[in-house]
Amino acid sequence: MSDDSDRILAALARLEDPLGRGDLVAAGRVSVPRLKDGAASLILEVSGLSAGQRAELERRIRAALIGEPGIAEVRIAMTAEKAERVIIAVGSGKGGVGKSTVAANLAIALARAGRRIGLVDADIYGPSQPRIMGNESRPEMADKQIVPVVAHGVRMLSIGQLVEAGKAIAWRGPMAASALGQLVDGDWGDCEMLIVDLPPGTGDIQLSLIQKWKPAGAVIVSTPQDLALIDATRAIDLFRKMDVSVLGLIENMSGYACPHCGEISDPFGSGGAQAAAKVMSIPFLGRVPLTLNIRRSSDAGTPPAAGEGEESKIFAALAQRLLQELAAKP
């Protein structure tokens, strides 16, 4: 290697890697540095970096090199490995079963388990994740991609962040599918898993997601009563017909503990989802009780999975069961 190349590497070794892996040279970010006719050129490996991190790193490199003797211009070619990102769809056969609340808390629990998680609010006509996750700020654009906002350790995108609050979203199927594409293809950086909160039912959004991005698996949320389970069966049938593994069924609003006497009642029935999972030969991931705290914390933008209470432990257990089923998937 030439003296000029050594000098360039020495200057870059004084810069820290954005992901905390030592300096840029030790992290393997820089290769083929050259200096010719006053122009320093190098290849920069940017895998795992968001668009904002890439832009900031490029700025730092230019600032570090332009001050070196003999360097009047800096040329940087960026390269990155394509990330293998797993998509998990969270669906339900009907609305009102708490699917979005479960999806948000599941995403947070997975993040707390050490996974790099993104949350896509694909419920285009009724987006609720900005409220549940407590971050309704508008995301920025970088290199023609939407940059997710961060809430409770999870990166998140929702159409609710891009339209005026309370405004009806009256879009036909192609427009909704286009909006879904902007969310799923956002700048997710090094996220290894996307939790996609689908709208209820079996419509255009579900078909678009499956056909274009093919989830690694689906989680179905249902309440225990027969009507919800009938609709949940339809959602399960759609995923099976489209060759998407159903990783499991979650029974939400399963049992209500009276805050005064502690007695457990079952306003929506009990055990129906577990029995249905057995009949359909799919895993039963667990139950989430009907509690006032889950409702209040969701409305306040502080999902219980982000805390330390009993509900947090419930979602942590669901996250572990999901990871087990995902790991066991052929």
The full DSSP string for 87-146 is EEEEE-SSSSS-HHHHHHHHHHHHHHTT--EEEEE--TTS--HHHHHT--PPPEEETTEE
Residue 270, phi then psi, degrees to nearest 5: -150, 135
Q: What is the pLDDT of residue 168?
A: 65
pLDDT category of residue 55 using cuts at 50, 70 and 90: confident
Q: Are strands 246-257 and 264-265 parallel, antiparallel or unpaired?
A: antiparallel
Two structure tokens written together for 64: 């570090």
Domain tally for the chain? 2
Say whether both 257 and 305 belong to one domain: yes
Tokens 């009949």 belong to residue: 279
d(CA 273, CA 147): 37
Q: With 60 as the cut, is the pLDDT of residue 83 above it?
A: no
Q: What is the pLDDT of residue 1?
A: 52
* Mean pLDDT confidence for 281-287: 94
Of the ranges 61-70, 107-116, 221-230, which is most confident? Answer: 107-116
Say whether both 103 and 62 belong to one domain: no
Query: Beta-carbon neighbour count of residue 310 at 10 Å?
Result: 12
Helices (H) and strands (E) in the chain, counts: 10, 14
Tell me which residue of 273, 286, 284, 283 sits closest to 316, measured CA to CA.
286
Domain end marker among 79, 100, 129: 79
- Ranges 189-193, 203-207, 267-271: which has the least confidence: 267-271
Q: Name the residue range of residue 42's domain.
A: 3-79
Two structure tokens written together for 44: 């920069």
Render pLDDT for 103-153 as a digit per residue (tens, 0 to 9).
999 999 999 999 999 999 998 888 999 999 999 999 998 888 999 999 999
Say whether both 102 and 173 belong to one domain: yes
Tell me the sheet residues that pair with 89.
196, 218
pTM of the model: 0.75
- Ranges 7-21, 198-212, 222-236, 259-273: which has the least confidence: 259-273
Domain end marker among 64, 79, 94: 79
Query: Which residues make Cβ contacts (< 8 Å) with residue 173, sequence separation at least 6?
Result: 203, 204
Say whether both 91 and 213 belong to one domain: yes
Residues 101, 325, 214, 240: is their CA dihedral positive or negative?
negative
Q: What is the pLDDT of residue 82?
A: 57
Say whether both 69 and 108 belong to one domain: no
Contacts from 177-182 at CB under 8 Å and sequence distance 24+? 177/204, 177/205, 177/208, 179/124, 180/122, 180/124, 180/205, 180/208, 180/209, 181/208, 181/212, 182/146
* Mean pLDDT confidence for 67-96: 85
Q: With 80 as the cut, is the pLDDT of residue 261 above it?
A: no
Tokens 């909006």 belong to residue: 179
Query: Beta-carbon neighbour count of residue 76 at 10 Å?
Result: 17
User: How much of the chain exceeds pLDDT 90, in percent?
Assistant: 54
Question: Collapsing DSSP states into helix, strand and coil, what is residue 171?
Answer: coil
DSSP code, position 117 = E
Say whether both 115 and 247 belong to one domain: yes
What does the mean pLDDT of the chain come to? 88
User: How much of the chain exceeds pLDDT 70, in percent?
Assistant: 94
Say whether both 9 and 44 belong to one domain: yes
Question: Collapsing DSSP states into helix, strand and coil, what is residue 30?
Answer: strand
Q: CATH code at 37? A: 3.30.300.130
Tokens 């432990």 belong to residue: 313
DSSP code, position 138 = P
Residue 88 identity: I
User: Contact, 288 vs 98, CB < 8 A?
Assistant: yes
Two structure tokens written together for 46: 């940017």
Q: What is the pLDDT of residue 125?
A: 84
Say whether both 108 and 242 belong to one domain: yes
Instruction: Give the orientation angle of helix 204-213 with respect to helix 173-184, to 10 degrees.
Output: 40
Q: With 90 as the cut, is the pLDDT of residue 58 above it?
A: yes
Q: What is the pLDDT of residue 170?
A: 66
Q: CATH code at 279? A: 3.40.50.300
* Mean pLDDT confidence for 9-30: 90
Say whether both 131 and 152 belong to one domain: yes
Domain end marker among 57, 79, 101: 79
